[in-house]
A and B are shown apart, each in its own frame.
Chain A
Amino acid sequence: MREFHYRIGWRVYGHRPGFHRSAGAGPGIEFHGHAALFDLPDARKLDLHATLRDPFGLWQVRVHRQRASIPVILLADLSASMGALTGGAASKMRVLADFTASLAYSAHRTGDAFGFIGCDEVMRDDYRLPFTRVRGAGIALAEKLRALQPSGRTAGALLDAAVALTERRSLVFLASDFHFPLVLLEQVLHALARHEVVPVVIWDKAELQPVTRFGLASIRDSETGGRRTLLLRKKLRERINEAYAARRAALSAAFIQHAVRPVYFSGDFDEDQMTAHFHGALAPTA
């Protein structure tokens, strides 16, 4: 498990010291402006040049901006679709667990509080982590996630969780396979408009790459239980790939409408890809 580095694009309004730039004054390196010594009686910060320039001859002190911490929260989709096709080498729940552990560790290293809300049809109390700065919280949670065989029939509680996040402006990771209607996605993104949202799209490569053998496959929807029989052949495989490409395009379009840039994983979780998303010149997006 390695750390990845994230950053945010706004000034935090918060007084808890941390890594991120804030709007509040305080001990820091970033210069904000000058104030009269009477207003900010800290003689260590006297600025003689500024005092000389002051037309009223008042003693001037330098005011700096404090760096602050932010809450980082992971909204995770725990519906049954996340657990289907677990035969794959990189199943989605494993990627989610890896990501959770890495994010919790990264948040701790960055000095931010980390919270987790697991959602299927309801917000799962047993998969909920209130904001915490405890160092090992993510590891325990990741272990729990690894053992979980999700069974929720929808991911509808994502909207409840999004609505419930009325606290301070946060960095919100939205981890899911996004196998739910775009309408729900619109609602969730709308509810999260106040926060900085990073959708993490987790797909299992196996989903779009069925066996290359010609044959009949009887498949069941992991969430609705609906049945289908597919005559797997070259043409159908191509159409499945096309369907996934079209889905990815539709998701990207929805994200762009909400000024959100997604991260796609269709294999193992990769910390460097996350870092590149925040710090890279142009992280690979759709």
Chain B
Amino acid sequence: MNVEFAEPWAFVLLPLALLPLLVRGPAINYPWLALLPRDWVSEALAWALRLAAAAAIAGAVVGLAEPYRAEVSVERIGQGAHVVLLLDRSRSMDQSFGASPGTHVLDGRRESKNSVARRLLAEFAASREQDLFGMLVFSTFPLPILDFTQKQEVIQAAIAAGGIGRGLADTDVGRGLEAALSYFEDLPYTGSRIILLVSDGGAHIDPETRQRIQNLLRRYRVALYWIYIRSFRSPGLLQGEAATAGTADSVPEHFLHRFFLGMGTPYRAYEAENPEALRRAIEDVGGLENFPIAITDVLPRRDFAGFCYVAALAFAIVLLIARFLEIRRWA
């Protein structure tokens, strides 16, 4: 660990630390010191106080020089899946979340689909600490937010960041998926790859894009998990599995579901209103096979000036106590 100094000129002041050792303060005039018994406790204390004074000055000076450890890259071995969180940020996500068909319209406690989605993502990310997470949101265009990282604070902050304001106009799942897939471009295959799509899914994808997505999913060997956020009065995904063929053209999420099922790559769908669904999603990811991967972790610059000031303050407090104990008149 290399410590560097932002303001090395401050060391010009360092000789000041010698002052307490060289200069003596006022003292009681005593007739004859040779008469007084030698007292090693007093002598040790006197030296300790002088050194404390020197240390206090030195600490302040070093603090002024602002020592820091520069940003360094550290290789770490990690193990976990690569997960790209793909969050739908379209306006439809601002609408209320339909817990299940038949819930009363005027139920005031309903939250927006967006906030449900974020809560689910946050829980998911929090329970999968060893995985690498990337994140992007999509609407008309995909917006990359986060490259793969293992740092939970960053991930949680990224998830929470989009909770402000209203959603954007349109929903283009195809472009979003393509952008998510681009995360795996040139990435060595070291563990399971998952795209976790959180969406209400109301969009069609044109055949050309469908073909591209299918190809890329195969090439990159990516599994697609879809956490389906049900809209109010939407029929839902799974209960109508048999009916998908009939409703595919009229209900966009059924169309999407059918497309994903038919791709031939690993695909799972979960419905958000079911608390079990999230647990299952977490377990499913946990059951995947992962290889150790080397992660280059960047440790941020660290400032040590604070420590120096605290040390200087501690020594100064010692001196202050001694000051209160000082006797300035012999009798």
The chain A residues found within 8 Å of chain B, CB to CB, are 81-82, 84-85, 87-88, 92, 177, 179, 204, 206-207, 209-211, 213-224, 226-232, 236, 239-240, 242-244, 247
Contact = CB atoms under 8 A, between A and B. Distances in A.
B331 A223 contact: no
A218 B36 CA distance: 13
Nearest to A203: B31
A224 B27 CA distance: 13
Interface residues of B, number: 28
Given A217-B326, A218-B26, A220-B27, A244 B35 contact: yes
Given A216-B45, A243-B37, A222 B31 contact: yes
Contacts of A92: 31
A147 B52 CA distance: 42
A174 B12 CA distance: 57
Which of B31, B35, B42 gathers the greatest number of chain A CB atoms within 10 Å? B31
Interface in B126-181: none
A85 B330 contact: yes
Contacts of B39: 230-231, 236, 239
Interface of B: 24-37, 39, 41-43, 45-46, 49, 322, 325-327, 329-331
Given A211-B331, A229-B46, A231-B41, A218 B32 contact: no
A277 B331 CA distance: 30
A249 B1 CA distance: 65
Given A216-B322, A218-B28, A236-B39, A228 B33 contact: yes
29 contacts: A84-B29, A84-B30, A85-B30, A177-B31, A179-B35, A206-B331, A207-B31, A211-B330, A215-B327, A216-B49, A216-B322, A217-B327, A218-B24, A218-B27, A219-B36, A220-B27, A220-B30, A221-B30, A221-B32, A222-B31, A222-B32, A223-B32, A224-B33, A226-B33, A227-B24, A231-B42, A242-B37, A243-B35, A247-B35
Contacts of A214: 325
Contacts of A224: 33
A215 B326 contact: yes
A149 to B, nearest CB: 10
Nearest to B328: A217
B31 A179 contact: yes
A33 to B, nearest CB: 54
